[in-house]
Each structure stands twice: as C-alpha cells, then as structure tokens.
Structure 1
C-alpha cells in the first residue's frame, strides 16, 4: 500500500488530526455484556439512536461541536471475542498492558507512579476494556448533552469505571506554564493541518502511526485478524499529575544557586521558552512569540558555527524536547524518525495560582499515538527520557576543543524522569573540551506522577464494525475467560 493511499473515512480522526478543541471527557469502561457492547459499537459508528458518530479523519466543514473516538485494551478485544492466537499477533507491549510489571518498569511507573496506586479502577488492567473519548469545541452544554445520551446507551452493555475531564487553558499552555502541542510530526499522505508548525525534519511515513502502511524501517505493522490490520493504530492513554508548586520551587532554588535567570532555566529544561520559542532559534531571550510556521523549523546540527547546536550550548542535549526528538543529532540506534509519536493531550484540574496555593490534583491527560508502543512510546520513555548514554560522540564545526556531545548530558529528563534528589542531575553545557566548562545541577525531585494508564488499540472504522459483529458471530464465552 502506498503512503499516499490513506482512506481518511476509515481512520479514526484523533490519529491524524488535532481537533483544536477546548474540552474533553474520557470514559473508562468495562464490558458487562459482549453482544450488547457490539450493538453499542455499531450504533456509535453509524450514529444510530441519537448517539454521536465516531469521528473519522475526514475534515468536517463547518467544524462540529463534538468529536468522538473509541479504543480498546487487549482485555477489551478478548472480551469481544478476539482469540488468544489473534491477540498474539499484536504489539508485544500492547499485549502486556500498562499495568504489567514489565511495562511499568520500562516507562518508569514505579514508586508513587506504580499501577497499584492508580485511580479510577485503572490499577486493575483486566477490567479496563474500552476508552471512549469525547472532545467538545467550546460548549460545556454540548459535552453534557452527549454524555447523558452515552450514559443512557451504556446501560446493559458496559459499566463506567471512571471519567476524567480535561480543559484547555486560554493560552494553550500546560500547568508548568509552557505552550504545548507544537512539535507534531508531518505524516506522508495525511491531510494538512491548520495552524500546524512545519517540521524541518523529513515527513514521517504513515506506517509509523497506521497499521497496514509502510513504516520508516520499510516494513509494515500488521495484526490478525485481517479486518483489524489496516488503518488502525495503538495509543498509550496517560493521566499525569504535575507538581506545579514543586516545579516553581525547583526553578527558584536552582536560579538562586547558579545565578541563571529563572525563565532561562525553565527554557533550558524544556528546550523552549514558555511562549514556545525554541532555544535553538532564540537562545538569549524569549522575545515575542515566533509565528507558527517558524516554531518548529530548526535542526540541531549545522556546518555553520552561528546556527550549529551539536553541543547543546543553546538547547541542552538533556532538554525535554531534545530527548524526545533529537532531530538530526547523532544518537545510538536508529534516528528519531523511527520513534516519533503523536500527542493528543490537554490539562486537567484548575490552573495553579502561586499567590493562593492549593492541593487540587492537576496535570495532563490524553493519548500518545503510534504504530508500535514498544518501538515508539516505550522506547522514548526508557531509552531517551531515562538514560543519558544514547548520545553519540559528536563535535561541532569548531572541533574537539569546543567540546563533545557525549559529555554534555546527564541524568534523566527533569520533567518526566524518575528523579531522586540524591542522584538526579541536569547538565548546562559550556564551551570546552570534555565537558570542562559544563555546569551540572543536582537535587531534582520527581515532578510528574502517573495516576493512570491504558495501552490502547484504535481500530479503523471497518475494524470497529468487525468488532461490533464479532460477539454475534459465535464468539460468546464467559467474560472471566476473556481477560488477559
């Protein structure tokens, strides 16, 4: 199948589109009657009985008030009748699930973030079968109206374990104050997105996000049965609580200790100023926010000393954006094109007011979308966010006397790493051989705690109809035997 041959009417919309909405509600569901759930799925695909229709990747004009998408855990697919032999063809991480000890250890869901501490029944992965997500453009009334219709339709088919809302802030920032949703990959064959900041990197093959299409390695991810193997995708759903007071206190402490301006330190940790401007393009001061087409139009390596940042003198090599997307920097293993992910997230909880501290839970909620959880989400979480030895030896245009990249990174990602004050660190690089001019900061605590997670499978529209018919096709068996 060609990269350009994406049937937009067969792809669930959130995979290829950022909806640019202000509200979200995520329903965590368990199947109580497989046959009735099949009928519910079919009704959602077709928009029957007054239910909202599953949103596809085809752009709708005018923009609707509501978008809806549906995904399943491995336990959910089994409950609907996908056989153990068929599930064995799915991504190995997806089969394990988010609550599996191996998954948790890989992505750093340990300590307070361990699955046994998760909220809303998400600690028991076997009972989490379906995630149904509703996004509303800007109307609370529309969201509540759709939610009421959905809850009425749930009766007799699924039970609601938990519901978590999200809401965008007016300036599209997250609780740590950074503008988010900037750096999304450009996908070959996908429709252009409004307000998308073009990436200086080459576009990514569709198979990095959709099964049945060629991926960056030249292969194709497929599953059994064949009805689920084209235009489907995987995602990792996460509820990530952010310690905003701890973050601001950390910035103030290290700024006082080092003399680095607080906002510059915040920019060094992320790789962008809080208004979104990348340090690579604005290394000295935040300035007025750059136009959207410029925010993502940069690389880290150049033959020109004026624009090169091989050593991380502008954007630290350990900065969050550089760990998650090294772009053209030299890293061990395959390049960043093989590990890109799509992010569909928004804040939950009230904005933090430093003048009136409170104990409200707040953070980010949403999906990390990819065609291989193991090669994309888990790889980023374990190899690049939590390690510092993935950087290859590299010097810039000025040669070894100016430094080498391997000496200019330490510790784990300050924002999402598993940081312990006794051993955590972050390197601010200086110009000099073998890191001799570097400044290393220590004593970071964990700033983000996982409160819930699900490894999900987003079937294509045809795949949803296949799953809807599966229980009635003779795959009935007791739910107790269908959980993985």
Structure 2
C-alpha cells in the first residue's frame, strides 16, 4: 500500500484530523456481553437506532455538531474474541498496557502518578476494555442528548466505569497558560485543509496508520488481516496540572535570576504563552504570529544567523525541543521516526490566582501513533527523561562558544519525574563546556498522571469485523 492510497472513509477521523471543537466526553467501558457489544459496534459504525455514527477521516461540510470515535485495549479485543495468538502480533507495549509496571516505569508513571493511584477504575487494566469519545462542536445540549442515547444503548453489552469531560478554553490555551495544538505532523497522502509552511519534512502515513509504509521503509501489521490496514494505536492520558505550583516556581526563579516571569515561561516550554516560538521571537513575545508561521522553523538549519544548536534562543531542554528536536542531532534516528499526533483538551475550571481553589484540572486526550514503543514510549523515556539524548554538536562559532551536550540537564519540566532533590533545567550561555550556563533546580513535579490506557483504533472495516465476532466458547480474559 502506497503513502498516497489512504481510504479516508476507512480511517477513524481522530487519527488524521483535529476536530477543533469546544467539548469532549470520554466514556471508559467494560464489556459484559461480547455479542451485545458486537451489535453495538455495528450500530455505531452505521449510525443505526438514532445513535451517533463513528466519524471517519473524510471531512464533512458543513461541520457537524458531533464527532465520535472508539478504541479498545488489548483486554477489550480479547473480550471480543481476538485470540491470544492474534494478539501476539500487536505492538508489544500495547499488549502490556498502561498499568503494567514496565510501561509505568518507562514513561514515568511512578510515585503519585503510579497506576495504583489512578481514578475512575483505570488502575484495573483488565477491566478497561473500550474508550468511546464524543466531541461536540459547541453545544452542551447536543453532547448531553447524544450521551443519553449512547447510555441507553450500553445497557445490555457494556458497563460504564468512568466518564471524563473536557472543554476548550476561549483562547485555545491549557491551564499553564500556553496556547496548545500547534505543532502537528504533516502526513503524506492526507489532504490538508490549508497549505501552511512547515520547515519539517512530511511524515509517511505508516507512522500513524497500519498497513502503510513508515519512516523506516516497512509497514506495521497485525493479525487478523481485517485489523491490519488503516488502524492505529493511541495512548489515552489524564494529566493533572499543578497551576499554582507552576506560577510559584516561575516567581521564585524570576526572583533568583532577575529574568522576567514570561521569559522564563517561554524558556521552559520553547514558546511564549501566545504560541510564538522562541526561535523566531527570541527577545519578546510580541503579537501572535499567523498560524502559518508558528511551526515554520528549525533549531539548527544552514544559516549561521539563525542557527540555535547551543540552545541560546530556545533551550535544548525546553519542552517543545525535547518532544520534537526537529533537525537537531539526537539519539534514535531523527524526529521523523518518533512523531506523535496529539488530540487533547483541558478539563476542570480555569485557575484564578485571585481566588485559589483545589479543583482537579489538567489535560486529557490521545497521543496517536502506529507504534507505541517506538513513538510514545521512546519519546517519553529517551527524550523527556534523559539529558544525554543530545549528540555532541557545536554552532557556527565553534567549540569556544560551547557544545550542545553541556547545555541540557534534568528531565522535561512538564513530562519528567521531577524531584526537588534532583530536578534541573539549564539556561544555556555562550562559553566552552557549559561554563556560562545557569541552572534552575529544586522544583517539584508539575504534572501528575491520573489515568491512562494503551488503545487500538480499528479501521471502519476492522470495526465491522469486530462486530461480527462473538464471545467464543471457552474464551478467557486476556492475560499479559
């Protein structure tokens, strides 16, 4: 299958497109009757019985009021009749699941973030079978009406374990105040809504869809064949954010260093809170750049005037640089081989510093990829948690100005496991072997995992295949 031959009507929409909606509701379900669940899946694919239909990647105009997609855990696929032999062909990380100790250790779900502390029954991976996500363009009434119809249909086949809502903020920011959803990969063969300059090379479709050629020149496939084309994996995360702790940390470091709070916030993320990248606007936030320019930059490049190999503009340890090093020299091939598609939205009320509260708030959504191990887990463990993933590199001025390997410390300030005794963030300066660097340290973890699921998004044809499976005689729950 070539990169251009993507059957958009066979792909679940959330994999290839952000819906740009205001509201979301994620249902966590356990299967109680496989036969009834199969009938439910078929009804959702076709939109029967007044139910909302599964959204495909074919864009609809005018924009609909609702979008819906469905995915399954390894335990959920087994409950529908996928055999242990067939499951053995799936991504190894997916088979382990998010609650497995090896998975948790790899991505930093330890301490307060460990699975035993997760909410909504998500700590029990064997019971988490289905995630059904319902997005509403802007109508609470439409979301509630569709939810009521879905819940009526759940009665015979599945039980609702948990539900988590999210709501977009008016300024498209998250709780820490940063604008989000900016840097998404351009996928070869996917029609773009608009042409926007992007300095990064397009990513082969196989990095996000099974059965298509990936960046390594191969294809990811599974058994049975009916699930092996146009399907994808995702990691669902509920990430609680300590907004008060973040603002207090910025104030403390600003007082220590004399650096403006907003500049510090930009250095930690790699972008100003309005979305402007430090690489393009290194000295002041300025007015928001046009959307077409927000992602049009590299960190190294061929022009000495814009080269930022040392991280003097955008620190090498900044969140966006760890999660997408672009053209910088790092371990693990290059960034094209480890890209993620993000579909997230804030949950909980916006924080008001004048009226502090203890409400839970954070970010909820999917990290989509065709290989959980090579994309989500690699990025989480190698680039977010290590400070030696950067290869030796000097800028246009040579070694006297510094080397990239000396200009990073600690773990990612958002995704890392940060303990005050060991946390560190380097603000690079110009000088040999990091001699002019400044280090921020002694800060706590700002993001705590409250839930997670390793998921499989079947294609539309794959969903219809699952729909006709029944609980085979003698079938047993999936065992990792």
Q: Same fold (TM over 0.5)?
A: yes
Q: Specify whether residues 349 and 14 from structure 1 end up closer, same or farther in structure 2 by C-alpha distance, changes over 3 A only.
A: same
Q: How far apart are residue 482 of structure 1 and its match?
A: 4.1
Aligned to 1:394: 393
Report the counterpart of residue 291 of structure 1 in structure 2. 290
Q: Distance in 2 between matches of 1:185 and 1:47?
A: 30
The equivalent residue for 2:333 is 334
Give the corresponding residue for 1:262: 261
Residue 24 of structure 2: aligned partner: 24
Structure 1 runs (4+) deviating above 2 angstroms are 196-199, 302-305, 474-478, 480-484
Once residues 483 and 398 of structure 1 are traced to their aligned partners in structure 2, the CA distance between those partners, rounded to angstroms, is 56
Query: Are 1:79 and 2:76 an aligned pair?
Result: no
Aligned counterparts, 1:148-297, within 5 A? 148-194=148-194, 198-297=197-296
Q: How far has the Cα of 1:425 moved from its partner? A: 0.3
Q: Structure 1: which 5+ runs fail to align?
A: none
Q: Deviations over 1:46-94 (max 9, x none)?
A: 0000000100000001100000000000000000000000000000000
Aligned residues: 480
Within 1, Cα distance between the matches of 2:119 and 2:265? 30
Q: Structure 1 pair 444/248, CA: closer, same or farther in 2 (3 Å)?
A: same
2:430 corresponds in structure 1 to 431
For residues 407 and 426 of structure 1, the distance between their equivalents in structure 2, rounded to whole angstroms, comes to 12
Q: Distance in 2 between matches of 1:193 and 1:234?
A: 24
Superposed displacement of residue 483, structure 1: 5.4
SS in 2 for 1:146: helix
Q: Secondary structure at the match of 1:434?
A: helix
TM-aligned CA deviation for residue 332 of structure 1:
1.7
In structure 1, the residue corresponding to 2:39 is in which secondary structure? helix
Q: Deviations over 1:412-464 (max 9, x none)?
A: 00112100000110000001111111111111100000000000000000000
SS at match of 2:126: helix
Q: 2:74, 2:478 within 8 Å by CA — same for their partners in 1?
A: no
Partner of 2:116: 116
For residues 483 and 158 of structure 1, the distance between their equivalents in structure 2, rounded to whole angstroms, comes to 20
Q: Contact 2:185–2:339 (CA<8 Å) still a contact in 1?
A: yes
Contiguous gaps of at least 5 residues in structure 2: none
Match of 2:134 in 1: 134
CA contact (8 A) 1:402 1:431 kept: yes
1:165-193 alpha-carbon deviations (Å, 9 max, x no partner)? 00000000000000000000000001203
CA distance in 1 between counterparts of 2:477 and 2:64 reads 40
Please, what TM-score do these two structures have when normalized by structure 2? 0.99
* Aligned twin of 2:50: 50
Per the TM alignment, residue 277 of structure 1 is displaced from its structure 2 partner at its CA by 0.1
Aligned twin of 1:409: 408
Aligned residues of 1:4 and 1:190 also touching (Cα < 8 A) = yes
Preserved contact between residue 127 and residue 483 of structure 1 (Cα < 8 Å) = no
Task: Please state whether the residue corresponding to 2:214 is helix, strand or coil.
Answer: coil
CA change 1:477–1:53 in 2 (3 A) is farther
Partner of residue 453, structure 1: 452
d(CA) in 1 for partners of 2:314, 2:265: 11
Per-residue displacement from partner, 1:197-256 (whole Å, max 9, x unpaired)?
542100000000000000000010000000000000000000000000000000000010
TM-score, normalization by structure 1: 0.98
What SS does the corresponding residue of 2:153 show, helix, strand or coil?
helix
Is 2:112–2:448's contact at 8 Å kept on the other side of the alignment?
A: yes
For the Cα contact (< 8 Å) 1:392–1:405, is it kept in 2?
yes
Give 3-state SS (helix, strand or coil) of 1:238's partner: strand
SS at match of 1:481: coil
1:464-479 to structure 2, matched below 5 A, reads 464-471=463-470, 475-477=472-474
Give the secondary-structure state (helix, strand or coil) at the position aligned to 1:235. strand
**Rounded Cα–Cα distance in structure 2 between residues aligned with 1:84 and 1:177:** 45
Structure 2 CA distance for aligned equivalents of residues 333 and 326 of structure 1: 11
Corresponding position: 1:481 with 2:477:
yes
Contact 1:76 1:483 in 2 (8 A): no
- Tell me if structure 2 keeps the 8 A contact 1:186–1:198: no
Whole-angstrom distance in 1 between the partners of 2:473 and 2:246: 51
Q: Which residue of 2 aligns with 1:68?
A: 68
Contact 1:304 1:397 in 2 (8 A): no
CA distance in 2 between partners of 1:433 and 1:402 (Å): 5
Distance in structure 2 (CA, Å) of the matches to 1:355 and 1:17: 37
Q: Secondary structure at the match of 1:364?
A: strand
Contact conserved, 1:183 with 1:199, CA < 8 A, in 2? no
User: Is the 1:186–1:204 contact (alpha carbons within 8 Å) kept by the matching residues of 2?
Assistant: yes
